Amino acid sequence: MISRRAFFRSIGGLSVAGVSTTAYGVGIEPERLLVTRYNLSPPQWPVDFDLKIAVIADLHACDPWMSLERIAGIVQRTNALQPDITVLLGDYVVSQRHATRAIPASEWASVLGGLKAPLGVHAILGNHDYWDDKTVQREGRGLPAARIALEAAGIPVYENDATRLTKAGRPFWLAGLGDQLAYVPARHFRPMRRVGVDDLSATLAKVTDSAPLILLAHEPDIASRVPARVALQLSGHTHGGQVRLLGWSPAAPSRPELAYGHVRKNCDVVVSGGLGCSIIPFRLGVPPEIVLVTLGNAGQAVS
């Protein structure tokens, strides 16, 4: 497994080996928008409890690749799915050098404020939201501008926190983990230096009854530590590797089995391929996607 940065530097070689492949990966696939559906019935989730979850991950808002107009289209497409709940999995901030403008948090968050769902819109932050050098002083500490902007748009942001929600009299918990790479500068990224704000034990301790539990975690790697008490973990971060061929992502920043899609660990895990791009605006075999997860009998009926 080579590093993501080295892999994407090598993409330039495709201009010699195949101009058409490079043109597609830069000019066509990143502009697509799919809805990827997972119909699941985890053992920890009541089969007669139907819940539809829309998932938005890794926007990386910037011109021209993820403009406000494109984000507005994503919001419209997500609302059209009529989910019970919508969750945002972090990395709203641009993370590539090929952008003409980094869109301020107040602008993209205002557009995301148009998301609608009966059980609300809920968010966590990603590593790039912490690595962004724009912070706002509040409560005696510097908070990421992304968090301030989302909250100003009416979207709660979870950092090692949980809330109890109810659909048709049926309760469940939604927990959001703090980012696992929050304090690691991007230019110094090394696996052995991962330092974050995540506290899984403290997060789960806020779940005070036996109602089923969904965990939001930007990086999927925590899955090996997530207990069976959790029914479903939703993650982003990997972009599916941005290049995925025959089910293989050669440069995903997580373990291969957690690069993309649905896998069952102690709990069910769904890793979104995300919407934006990191390092370079290139995707191949993993188009931008909104994820729609259906739990319970409804999920079994559709699958």
Q: Which domains does the chain have, with CATH numbers?
A: 4-302 (3.60.21.10)
Distance CA 11, CA 200 (A): 37
Q: Is the pLDDT of residue 98 over 60?
A: yes
Q: In the block, which residue shows the tokens 């557009």?
A: 111
What are the tens digits of pLDDT across the range 24-73? 545 565 578 999 999 999 999 999 999 999 999 999 999 999 999 999 99
pLDDT band at 278 (very low <50, low <70, confident <90, very high): confident
| Longest distance between any two alpha carbons in the chain, whole Å | 60
CA 31 to chain centre: 18
Specify the pTM.
0.87
Predicted pLDDT at 1:
46
Tokens of 219: 């990086």
Contact 174, 121 (CB under 8 A): no
As to burial, measured by CB atoms within 10 angstroms (0-12 exposed, 13-18 middle, 19+ buried), residue 298 is middle
Mapped onto helix, strand or coil, the DSSP state of residue 282 is: coil
